[in-house]
Chains A and B, each alone.
Chain A
């Protein structure tokens, strides 16, 4: 091959990638399901004649590499020799290659050129409904796959260009929204046909040989890029494990990984993870692989165009019939939750090794919302299936982010107009949760919203979803997951009967976000929340220890890199929390912890002080004076607010303290009135009276009361 030929191959290669994109967008444009056209919950790919992925459109990266095993499965089952030009195969079996949950319908089409198969095109898309026990087809309480909808273990949908009417009739009769299913089916077929035609055109233009060579080159370049990068990486093994909150029946689910990087390979071994469970959070092997691929791509080169060449260097091991490689008839409709945990556990294991690519974790759930019912005006049934955005942690040199899709997805937020205009759902609020400033709440308040009094999102709506911070069986506060701003949705009204109202995923988002206030860092910062105790003089009112709360920004958080490097910090002091610049938060707040140096870091905003429940927040206009810092140190609650908000703060405290409908108020387990210390014992800067007690959450008190081991400051135990 001479040098000019290689340019031709590159040109054909670029054309292949362009075709991958075209096929992808062609589908979004024609789909009838919001989950496809709005949240892009689908993938399209082109594979070579062996079924290895060449290029994939920019959709759900959780589907990455699912296209090729799916194609492989079809080749295996039918054999290339039986295939005809114009055939399309349907497959959605969770336990087979490319399997996720039944809702994701896969289609495969062989591409013929002059009577010979030269490639495959495949796509996989989330249909809003595929039948089963509940609208939306994914449930939190299924116990077998048979409850979850139609299952196709590879069937021929289109035979030499002719659709199989028996099959489409069967689909139409078994799904709740046959029109949109039919539309999506045709959209998928059309997108495959587009890919077919474009590949044929490419053959016409450059010749089959050049196309095939170019495919091989694409794959080899992918492999080479991965190998080069692997060679530079640190070698060794890193382990991590964590527990999914709950399997729906009160059991913790363990996810464990050992990641080994050698000169030539990247191996993720999940042996030791829990056996499959009787709730729909099991994952098939393909999805597990796809989750690992996301983590792998992120450290290999996130900018690389993705193909199976890259993954020739990757190996995934899991035990049969485990939660990450489940067998029939394990239910899988919420498979993405364990898949995400698998991805996250790899992420966690490698974060200390690759701090430049892996920051603190992220929302760690799809947070899917399913609402179904009859439209109050038209009377017609409607269905909303919608993943929601959430927060991402900070990473080296960068703040965390609000309002982002999870690591498996591209896009996830349906607009309020859409809801208001098309569905009988009205958002009352779509915002970053700032109600719970300073409150590190394990119960995912951040996602709570109400529909006519019922909880809509968040922990309260599902069994799965409790104890978000209570991982590891030790109920630790996992710093790895801290600083997660979330989006809050509130629904104003939801007329008509509520068909289904579920939150099938851990509601575990992280409620912490506040902007630093005016004149400072101009951008919204995710915040850390520190709670600490002051010793109480005997005989002072209350007798129990009131929590104090401080809020600060984790700006430019090299911080995160550090605490991740430690992997997990148990009972961290605030200083561990802020090991680098900027100055430790509590020092910023005036040295309440006894280390006082005075002076605020510039990212700390105006501060309001509270004494009693129900008090206004008297603003500290310029929180840089020593006097103010003292006040802050002494105040039982310190809230950071916009200066502009201060005049309107009357309602603030009420929310601050009371708006936790879940467990009856923030101070539920504490003697009331224990919060007035600030006025009695004025602290001075450097005064040893205040001791940093590390982080606790409000669960501490409750757990203590119940004799449960919990994250508790030393002095308190």
Chain B
């Protein structure tokens, strides 16, 4: 039995998978500040014997919460002399262009806690100035005196050689026992000093919080007798053992959402689809991510708190490439000063939540609009829904300014929300050189299945898959993950000029490190993917190209260059044959295989559609308008069941729509498959 628990803002989800491939789900409350309590509660509620577990996988918002709520540790920084202000200066970004009183994001480590030490390593790794131990001791003393709880170490050019960082790490650990210490080279070997500094600063900032959380969770799990491996979900779509999470907790910053993307890839494999778009609509945001040839895309240009008006803070770790927009079920509809209807990014959250929750919310949300539009039934909500209050909110905030009644307002809110989602879906597909018509849309989260079929039709996507337990699909994705670690090393070389020996040495270095790391966690069954981040000499941005395993002979090099030209043209519409090609980073993705049950087909049954039929009601469809629509209960549908749109299938915490002319079937795994009838 594998179990995944995923802590969200409101709910803590549990999904379990037994050896027969059966899926169990439990939902409980999230219990801040003692989040581990919520985990134990869902474990107990599930009735699963902790002793039967083969793996416990956990996703948590603890890290991102500590960052966004600024509840991390008092953190100090040690850096190269002359560079203490790197965090302060950042990239000088001023994205709020016309705001002349713009406030720049403040560094997580204030200046008085940023210490400089004499040392210098050149961009090629050569030591120019040795580490000044006396200054280091002084800095350690200063940090001690300040009573810091965590220390980040980031030296200039340590991506090329982190010897001084390692020495500093050892020294600080000794001088400040009990203090969380971390260095940039431990987290990333990619270049760019601001991004590196920011990454290690944030890792240190959340370090003590994470350590404490992991400690408490582990203790609780031990107490109830959980057996088997314990893993955390990381932002790269893989897991890491608890021990690894303690060292680099920043890797868990996006643990929840990425699991859904990874789950999409796994599900795709089972149902024979390689080109997939994961589409996850939760309470506050809609997220989408593209899977090309079965591969989840990874990027290291992640930032927290970045908006189009705010530079945010970079975290240079491998994160699944997700486009996220502030359009979820709880997103608030409002009229902007120019009189246009907007939805989100402000969310009513869980409290007060949408008006329909009856917890004091007064601002209409997408969920409220979906209720009035018939897409949700009052029965979907806990407690009695005050329809009049929902209508009043829609009329007052949206209808009146635009001259609409409640239904028209609801419909408009849905249209604007879906337009935003449409743009986000285009952003990860068309704008990155992919034709959505080649893809299958996998829709999950509470809201995904409700919007997917009409969006797919607009995008020319032929097929929509609504997985089993769509609302907790992210947690299901966690069950399917392997251990994963990404090793990225910057070394800028013209491919032509790089000697094979040098490249092999670099790969060997990464491979050695990977083997050592994984064997220290007792994992020997590992596999590798090789990538290179490449560009035309003189360019800045790189594209990630899959490469053959080392060593690279001329034929391999030629293949890599060919792959690069193709990828570049794919993304950017042109290629510059004849321009020298440069490698910027080598990227080794390492997977530690874990035993997972195969997805099992469910037996075909001759079920009865009548038994699954619940009612008929008016439902608004984006393209065809209001329709008298039969409503079915997903629990009572069966493999092989086939329905024709307009139809709505309700399940726990989600509802799937198929429009007129579209067909909805249940496949052998229990997934809903909607054929969108796109030509």
Interface residues of A (CB under 8 A from B): 3-4, 6-8, 10-11, 13-15, 18, 21-22, 26, 28-32, 34, 37-38, 58, 61, 64, 179-180, 183, 186, 190, 193-194, 205, 221-222, 224-225, 228, 294-295, 297-298, 301-304, 306, 347, 356-359, 362, 388-389, 395-396, 398, 401-405, 407, 409-413, 415-418, 420-422, 426-432, 487, 490, 492, 515, 517-518, 522-524, 642-644, 647-648
Contact = CB atoms under 8 A, between A and B. Distances in A.
B85 A29 contact: no
Given A190-B574, A411-B91, 8 more contacts: A3-B403, A4-B411, A15-B423, A221-B339, A304-B98, A415-B192, A418-B191, A518-B146
B142 A357 contact: no
Given A301-B337, A417-B159, A517-B112, A7 B89 contact: no
A402 B88 contact: yes
Give 3 closest A-B pairs by Cβ, nearest first. Answer: A429-B82, A389-B92, A403-B89
Contacts of B423: 14-15, 18
Contacts of B193: 415-417
Contacts of A648: 138
Given A26-B572, A403-B92, A647-B138, A417 B191 contact: yes
B122 A426 contact: yes
A3 B415 CA distance: 13
Contacts of B156: 416-417, 420
Interface string B90-113: 111111111111111010001110
Interface stretch (B230-238, B263-271, B354-362, B538-546): B538-546
Given A4-B408, A221-B340, A31 B112 contact: no
Contact of A190 (B110, B408, B572): B572
B406 to A, nearest CB: 13
A418 B196 CA distance: 13
A297 B97 CA distance: 9
Given A14-B419, A306-B98, A401-B103, A430 B85 contact: yes
Interface residues of B, number: 76
Q: Which of A186, A301, A302, A415 has the most CB of B within 10 A?
A: A415
Nearest to B89: A403
Given A3-B403, A179-B538, A396-B101, A303 B412 contact: no
A644 B115 contact: yes
Interface string B137-163: 010001001100000000011010000
Given A38-B540, A398-B101, A421-B191, A7 B412 contact: yes
A418 B97 CA distance: 25
B382 interface: no
B523 interface: no
Contacts of B106: 523
A298 B99 contact: yes
Given A37-B540, A405-B93, A221 B402 contact: no
A29 B93 contact: no
B97 A58 contact: yes
A26 B458 CA distance: 23
Query: Which of B91, B122, B138, B458 has its CB near the most chain A CB atoms (within 10 A)?
Result: B91
Contact of B100 (A407, A418, A642): A407
14 contacts: A3-B408, A10-B340, A14-B419, A18-B423, A18-B426, A221-B339, A298-B98, A306-B98, A404-B94, A409-B94, A416-B156, A417-B159, A422-B492, A430-B82
A34 B541 CA distance: 10
B573 interface: yes
B404 A3 contact: yes
B598 interface: no
A522 B107 CA distance: 11
A492 B415 CA distance: 57
A290 B387 CA distance: 51
Contact of B101 (A30, A186, A359): A359
B123 A404 contact: no
Given A294-B98, A644-B146, A524 B338 contact: no
A490 B458 CA distance: 55
B555 interface: no
Contacts of A301: 337
Interface centre among B98, B192, B492 (most CB of A within 10 A): B98
A302 B103 contact: no
A50 to B, nearest CB: 21
Contact of A10 (B83, B103, B341): B341
A403 B123 contact: no
B420 interface: yes
Interface string B492-532: 10000000000000000000000000000000000000000
A420 B161 CA distance: 14
B565 interface: no
B92 A194 contact: no
Given A183-B576, A221-B339, A518 B112 contact: yes
B571 interface: yes
B308 interface: yes
B572 A30 contact: yes
Given A32-B539, A38-B540, A403-B85, A7 B339 contact: no
A524 B114 CA distance: 11
| Chain B, interface SS category | loop
A522 B142 CA distance: 16
Contacts of B85: 402-403, 430-432, 487
Interface string B168-209: 000000000000000000000001111000000000000000
Contacts of B485: none
B416 interface: yes
A477 to B, nearest CB: 22
B277 to A, nearest CB: 18
Given A32-B539, A183-B576, A359-B101, A431 B142 contact: no
Given A29-B572, A183-B536, A411 B94 contact: yes
B573 A7 contact: no
Contacts of B636: none
Given A190-B573, A303-B309, A402 B89 contact: yes
Given A30-B574, A405-B94, A432-B85, A7 B539 contact: no
Interface in B336-358: 337-341
A515 B85 CA distance: 11
Given A14-B423, A412-B92, A415-B194, A4 B573 contact: no
B574 A428 contact: no
Nearest to B81: A429
A515 B538 contact: no
A648 B135 CA distance: 9
Given A413-B92, A648-B138, A61 B97 contact: yes
Contact of B82 (A7, A58, A347, A490): A490
Nearest to A300: B98
Nearest to B337: A225
B86 interface: yes
Contacts of A298: 98-100
A524 B123 contact: no
B84 interface: yes
Interface string B399-434: 000111000100110011001100100110001000
Contacts of A428: 82
B606 interface: no
Contacts of A186: 574, 576
A362 B341 CA distance: 36
Contacts of A430: 82-83, 85-86, 89
Given A4-B408, A29-B541, A58-B308, A515 B573 contact: no
B579 interface: yes
Given A10-B341, A186-B574, A644-B142, A429 B83 contact: yes
Nearest to A485: B88
Contact of B416 (A10, A403, A410): A10
Contacts of B539: 30-32, 37, 183
Contacts of A31: 539-540
A64 B104 CA distance: 22
